[in-house]
């Protein structure tokens, strides 16, 4: 019997109430006991004495272990004189010191912290922790790892080289700061602020309009891309942009949608990204190579063409291909979790946090 890829939801209505996870209390005594247990163990090879604080129901949803479906909280301990090995990942973190003091070396920057200090870790920043004090050090660490694990795109590199993230132009930062509510309070010299409750519950609204991208006008623009020289190193597409999504580049806050024209005989370069891509082909035929396996497709086919972080590329056969691609890129950008490797021979970038990539569009446009 053939696999059935359809789920009939005709007449479906949502449940009357959400099935919420029950509240869970972890007492100070429990935390102290776990700190003592971690401290009594031999030092792990990577130096990370760590326990995840998990809700009993985390396995029911198939998400990564967490205190709720989208947040992981870990208890982390360092004894005097101990240091962890470097690590980096595309999940982001908040750290809060609940005992002792220490230091974090993150992308070459040292943060010395004490009791009740808070600091954040951007995506893919290499970091290590140091306890150069005479007392035990304990932190709570909050992370969006469970969501990325659910999406199967939590990228972790243990003991990487300490490569600084690529710097971005500071002009957008200055522009953003000029629009800050005057009630926000600067703290320190790194650009951190305190936001009062009155601003937190009244963010600047952004109108989310109903927008329409008619095919007649879009097709005419695509024809210009179709005429680009075959040496063009980008992808011949337009994203249908909703300005309400701003720099996160979406048609909605969660998804982008692009229409691609791929003339006959075009083979894209292999690349990968942590956003997942679903393609609907509505003209022509071709094939995709995903993680070394070939998949042929034709007009009318719908395909999960790029599972997150899977190496892939696409090729058109004799006829021009048109395709709709939907990806969860805006969500990934907002979470600082969008790793994108445009050329497998060159490093990936954290799009939206680091400077991205260029193409040779100007050169091929002049040549044509």
DSSP state of 61: G
- pLDDT > 90 in the chain, percent: 64
How open is the CA angle 151-282-260, to the nearest 5 degrees?
Answer: 65
Q: Kindly tell me the burial class for residue 199, based on how many C-beta atoms sit within 10 Å of its own C-beta (0-12, 13-18, 19 or more).
A: middle
- The answer to whether residue 2 sits within a structural domain is no
Per-residue model confidence (pLDDT) at position 112:
94
Per-residue model confidence (pLDDT) at position 1:
46
230 and 281 share a domain?
A: yes
Asked if 106 contacts 127 with a C-beta cutoff of 8 angstroms, the reply is: yes
End-to-end alpha carbon distance in the chain: 52
Task: Find the domain containing 223 and state its range.
Answer: 215-367
How many domains is the chain built from?
A: 3
Q: Each residue of 51-91: pLDDT tens digit?
A: 999 999 988 877 889 999 899 999 999 999 999 999 999 99
Looking at residue 101, which CATH number applies to its domain?
2.60.120.10
245 and 340 share a domain?
A: yes
Per-residue model confidence (pLDDT) at position 231:
75
Cα 11 to chain centroid distance, Å, stands at 35
Inform me whether the pLDDT recorded for 331 exceeds 90: yes
Bridge partners of residue 280, in order along the sequence: 302, 324
334 and 231 share a domain?
A: yes
- The answer to whether residue 335 sits within a structural domain is yes
Residue 150 CB neighbours (<10 A): 16
Inform me whether the pLDDT recorded for 226 exceeds 90: no
Asked if 77 contacts 31 with a C-beta cutoff of 8 angstroms, the reply is: no
- The answer to whether residue 207 sits within a structural domain is no
- The answer to whether residue 20 sits within a structural domain is no
**Considering only CA atoms, which of 150, 167, 149, 47 is closest in space to residue 89?**
149
Asked if 117 contacts 137 with a C-beta cutoff of 8 angstroms, the reply is: no
- The answer to whether residue 228 sits within a structural domain is yes
Report the run of H or E that residue 35 belongs to, with start and end.
Answer: helix 28-40
- The answer to whether residue 205 sits within a structural domain is no
Residue 245 CB neighbours (<10 A): 20
Span 336-360, mean pLDDT?
89
């Amino acid at each position: 019997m053939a696999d059935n890829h359809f789920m009939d939801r005709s007449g479906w209505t949502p449940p009357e109430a959400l099935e919420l996870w029950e509240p869970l209390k972890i007492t100070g005594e429990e935390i102290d006991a776990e700190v003592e247990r971690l401290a009594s163990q031999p030092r792990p090879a990577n130096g990370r004495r760590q326990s995840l604080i998990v809700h009993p129901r985390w396995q029911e949803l198939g998400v990564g272990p967490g205190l709720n479906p989208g947040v992981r909280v870990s208890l982390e301990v360092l004894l005097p004189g101990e240091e962890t090995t470097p690590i980096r990942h595309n999940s982001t973190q908040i750290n809060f010191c609940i005992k002792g003091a220490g230091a974090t070396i993150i992308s070459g920057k040292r943060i010395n912290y004490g009791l009740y200090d808070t600091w954040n870790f951007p995506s893919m920043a290499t970091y290590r922790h140091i306890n150069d004090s005479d007392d035990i050090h304990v932190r709570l660490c909050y992370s969006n790892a469970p969501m990325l694990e659910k999406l199967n795109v939590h990228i972790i590199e243990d003991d990487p080289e300490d490569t600084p993230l690529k710097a971005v132009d500071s002009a957008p930062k200055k522009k953003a700061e000029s629009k800050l509510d005057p009630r926000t309070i600067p703290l320190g010299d790194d650009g951190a602020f305190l936001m009062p409750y009155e601003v937190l519950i009244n963010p600047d609204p952004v109108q989310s309009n109903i927008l329409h991208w008619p095919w007649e006008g879009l097709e005419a623009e695509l024809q210009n891309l179709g005429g680009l020289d075959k040496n063009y190193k980008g992808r011949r597409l337009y994203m249908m942009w909703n300005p309400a999504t701003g720099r996160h580049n979406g048609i909605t806050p969660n998804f982008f949608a692009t229409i691609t024209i791929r003339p006959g005989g075009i083979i894209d370069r292999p690349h990968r990204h942590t956003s997942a891509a679903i393609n609907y082909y509505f003209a022509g035929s071709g094939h995709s190579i995903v993680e070394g396996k070939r998949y042929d497709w034709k007009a009318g086919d719908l395909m999960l063409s790029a599972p997150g972080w899977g190496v892939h590329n696409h090729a058109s056969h004799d006829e021009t291909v048109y395709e709709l691609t939907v990806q969860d890129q805006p969500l990934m950008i907002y979470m600082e979790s969008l790793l994108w490797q445009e050329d497998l021979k060159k490093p990936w970038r954290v799009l939206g946090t680091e400077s991205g990539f260029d193409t040779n569009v100007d050169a091929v446009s002049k040549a044509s």
